[in-house]
Structure 1
């Protein structure tokens, strides 16, 4: 039974408390609910006795933004993350999300400062792992698997003969669905064994946060089968989700828990359309671009000649060579930047696009005074955005699709807002893939991104709360920003600042109803700052250049 593994009592004692958070990437309750209706098991127990509902993701609902906001309780305007790649200043360079975006902001850092232990497993983009009170394993989006302590993964691999492999649903070999499911089951089996091994090795943890990316891979590759009920691959999809449920139940059998949270970074749904944002921006006159691939090559040559000429005339040949070598080194660094090579003439374009994922559209205004090649006067900034929003409405009407346009100040606030997209677009609530085919003549296609990419993201993710702290409740609506404050409240951990999320009211029972978020004193903040400096030094982390 589930309940014996969850502690009773009226309040949580931080030093002895255990809070388990399992992240199911891309999951939502409407995906798991059919399993809960059909079979006895963990999902049925949670549906009957837990607090279940929607966890509203970031805009856009992308892994690179959502997991960072979940760990920190901060919106993208305060994290600087709307995607896997993000701007950190003016111009067209994008920087990878890394552990630098978590350090000093994540709930496990506050816990380490207060002497509480965390085990963080397979958390996306948490690379390189750094020193915490406990253990940390990097997850999706990392260039390689790594852990703190460094020997932890080596030990697990020796025990189990390997570690889970990342699965790319769009890999051509997964035209063979039998091969996809074979790899998915094998990878998850290794992941589950390793996670439980690490959790038991560091059994004194107070927070265990384990992320399962395999669910997202399933939804992307096999959405029609996940949503269906009949046929071989629908049965395999259900069988896989049941195996995930068994993994969660094994955690519950292995540890005496105070609270269980099931969460996701976003939901999932069918990928139904493709939207060529680049072609629309060019044809509408917002972007000036070469009209053919040959023209693009000529443009690149001219641009390179112009840049080389400027460098040589100003600083001499030797300095230009040194600068080029430095740029190459920066590109190789995890904290470095990557440039955009889209065929956009910035000296004549009012907006520009960057190499973001296809889950959303991002439009940057080429604003004078902010961008190196800015041509749009500040007084024309809002009228230009209004023109673009109107153009999106025309396209939506013409092709019979939904395009939602968000001005950044409507959805973000904080010190990084200047460098975030001036307009964020969601096509078909996330069901439309946004592409940058500058030389294609099409605007909208009624088809999925590829035959191996049939599912895409939605804003409504998964929330389940279970245990003595939670009331039994249905149809809840929470924000992804609420998770870090909720964990802090359950463990009595202080925040150094006011988060953007909060501890939801009406969700808890008994003495938990009075649970509130505490903040650090000025003295504690100074101590936390010194603590972070020590962590950076011991972990070898350096600020981005």
Structure 2
């Protein structure tokens, strides 16, 4: 069989809810062509629908129970400490490694959670969670010179959410558009020079703009008369989608008619209504006991003395406006673990049981008592109703084994809340939080941005090419994409892949390979980020407003 070629374009957080109407209006001609001529449909993200979890599943074809990734900064199941994720802790081989082992050369650009880069049969420039733009993000290192030649202004992300002088909204929007252009030039330059049969590039701007400008988008969509700069902010999301559409068109044209082009998002996007404080939910149910203020002060002082700089900086980033009062408090300080039976695990709406023999101050015995506590957590969280809407927040609280499976399961939260409409911010520490279960989100100012938009599990999938039929996907999930790419390339698929090949979109001449490749869910490479790298990642995520 002649070597086929596949190009994959990631549009972080992109949603058909926006693509379809703007395509119908003629504003997204390239994406409209995919909708008319190719395959399309929604693409269900991971639970949780958070970029590190979703992109890790995309890269490996494995669910979080095998990758071990559910959040940007994960609380350990065996302690009350947190650490940043990186490719060093992602279990499983990336699908471009699998293809490379079968003779398919690849090129990867800006896929999140790929730093530090893993060498393979091809080149990689790592994406989100890379500490900086330098040779350390490239494998082989010399491909960094190709990147700089193609795009001297290349940036990993938009890293401006606060500015002491200028209108930060204007700065952010213009920077976002520049980042898209630089990413497009980088992708075109690297693709033209290396012509890899497998090429993957991810654009994150569609996620960032929705986080910070959804309120203006909603106002404009509702017909509000926005004046002055706000009129442009009301069109900000559309402007970014239009720029991404141009990038898609340029890349697809460069790939040519003999290349199958797949477009996906790791999750969708939508508005945020308010925040929910899971700690307060558990406390009011008698499952979590909060420390007295004096005990919290002591915890802060002890933490400041003994905690590694990386974790202290992470806490400072989460606290933002509260740093003057408690600059180095750990996210889980203020909890009396000697009397607590369950506590939130991170920004993913996961919840740990404080288990004896696992956590340092575990209070719950394994077995029957553990299951009883999980039942109590489910009952408490599923009973929470938003008084403003009269509707429950949770669609369901899942036991971890109900939604994940694999060798990393024991490291993940014991339960996870799946929201009914994903309208609620669940971050552990938010400067707007008070003593209530619900709290209003902080509002953007002239000099500082805050999240006003969030995620949805329903992302998008589009495909067009010589081996793609005009069709709609059937219950497609993000884990299906790597399996489908390997099938298009004629590569064997690992036997433990969780995704399926999207056979409904493939032409009859594509023979779906068997699952005969070795298992993918191998332990992650043993490598730690340096202290300098951790600080750089923290500052980058702080600049993006994620922590």
Q: Into which bin does the TM-score normalised by the smaller protein fall?
A: 0.7 to 0.9
Residue aligning to 1:232: 232
Per-residue deviation, 1:446: 5.2
- Provide the rounded CA distance (Å) in 1 between the counterparts of 2:197 and 2:91: 19
Q: Compute the TM-score of the two structures, normalised by the length of structure 2.
A: 0.81
Residues 232-381 of structure 1 correspond to what in structure 2 (within 5 A)?
A: 232-256=232-256, 257-292=258-293, 294-300=294-300, 328=308, 341-354=332-345, 356-357=346-347, 360-378=348-366, 379-381=368-370
**Distance in 2 between the 1:74 and 1:217 partners?**
26
Residues 368-517 of structure 1 aligned to structure 2 (within 5 Å): 368-378=356-366, 379-396=368-385, 400-401=390-391, 402-404=393-395, 405-436=397-428, 440-445=434-439, 447=441, 452-474=450-472, 476-512=474-510, 514-517=511-514
User: Which SS does the other structure have where 1:27 is aligned?
Assistant: coil
Task: For 1:417 and 1:386, locate their aligned partners in 2 and report how far apart those are by CA, in whole Å.
Answer: 19
**Deviation of 1:170 (Å):** 4.2
Structure 1 stretches (4+) deviating beyond 6 angstroms?
329-332
Instruction: Say which one has the larger Rg.
Output: 1
Give the Cα–Cα distance (whole angstroms) in 2 for the partners of residues 88 and 151 of structure 1: 36
**Aligned partners of 2:513, 2:443: CA distance in 1, in Å?**
45
Residue 20 of structure 1 aligns to a residue whose secondary structure is: strand
SS of equivalent residue, structure 2 residue 340: coil
Change (3 A) 1:496 1:87: farther
In the TM superposition, residue 56 of structure 1 has moved relative to its aligned partner by: 0.2
* Separation in structure 2 between the aligned mates of residue 210 and residue 49 of structure 1, nearest angstrom: 22
Gaps of at least 5 residues in structure 1 are: 1-11, 309-323
2:303 and 2:173 map into 1 onto residues whose CA distance is: 47
Q: Does the C-alpha gap of structure 1 residues 418 and 339 become closer, same or farther in structure 2, counting only changes over 3 Å?
A: farther
In the alignment, structure 1 residue 164 sits paired with structure 2 residue 155: yes
Mapped partners of 2:191, 2:150: distance in 1 = 14
Q: Distance in 2 between matches of 1:51 and 1:508?
A: 9
Alignment partner, residue 34 of structure 1: 21
CA deviations on 1:193-242 (whole Å, 9 max, x unpaired) are 11211111211x11111000111011111124445456433434323212
Deviation at 1:33, TM superposition (A): 0.8
Whole-Å separation in 2 of the counterparts to 1:200 and 1:342: 52
Q: How far is 1:279 from its partner?
A: 2.1
CA distance in 2, matches of 1:79, 1:165: 23
**Cα gap change, 1:267 to 1:370, in 2 (>3 Å):** same
Q: Structure 2: where are the runs of 5+ without partners?
A: 224-230, 315-328, 531-547
Q: 1:499 to 1:165 in 2, by over 3 A?
A: closer
**Bigger CA drift: 426-435 or 409-418?**
426-435
Offset of 1:191 from its aligned partner? 1.4
| In 1, Cα distance between equivalents of 2:482 and 2:473 | 21
> How has the CA–CA distance of structure 1 residues 126 and 267 changed in structure 2, closer, same or farther, with 3 Å as cutoff?
same
Q: Is the 8 A contact 2:495 2:515 kept in 1?
A: no
The 5 A counterparts of 1:131-142 are: 131-142=119-130
3-state SS of the aligned residue for 1:55? strand
Q: Secondary structure at the match of 1:125?
A: coil
2: CA distance between counterparts of 1:467 and 1:393?
45
Aligned pair in 2 of structure 1 residues 342, 330: CA closer, same or farther (>3 Å)?
closer
Query: What CA distance in whole angstroms lies between the structure 2 residues aligned with 1:452 and 1:397?
Result: 22
SS, match of residue 260 in structure 1: strand
User: Does the Cα contact within 8 Å between 2:77 and 2:411 map onto a contact in 1?
Assistant: yes
1:473, distance to aligned residue in structure 2 (A): 2.1
Alignment-derived partner of residue 542 in structure 1: 527
Determine the C-alpha separation between the residues in 2 that align with 1:467 and 1:412. 33
**Residue 52 in 1 paired to residue 40 in 2?**
yes
SS of corresponding position for 1:123: coil
Any conservation in 2 of the 1:277–1:435 contact (CA below 8 Å)? no
8 Å Cα contact 1:29-1:52 kept in structure 2: no
CA contact (8 A) 2:472 2:505 kept: no
Work out the CA distance in 1 between the residues paired with 2:105 and 2:76.
32
Q: CA deviation at 1:468?
A: 2.5
| Total equivalences in the alignment | 491
- TM-score (ref. length: structure 1): 0.82
Moved more, 365-374 or 395-404: 395-404
Alpha-carbon distance, 1:486 to partner: 0.6
Q: Any conservation in 1 of the 2:493–2:513 contact (CA below 8 Å)? A: no
The alpha carbon displacement at 1:141 in A equals 1.7
1:121-160 equivalences under 5 Å are 121-145=109-133, 146-158=137-149, 160=151
Structure 2 SS opposite 1:465: strand
343 and 103 in structure 1: CA distance in 2 versus 1, 3 angstrom threshold? closer
Secondary structure in 2 aligned to 1:479? coil
Distance in 1 of aligned mates of 2:216 and 2:16? 17
Quick check: 1:43 aligned with 2:43?
no
* Compared CA separation, residues 440 and 177, structure 1 to 2 (3 A): closer
The answer (yes or no) to whether the contact 1:289–1:343 under 8 Å persists in 2 is yes
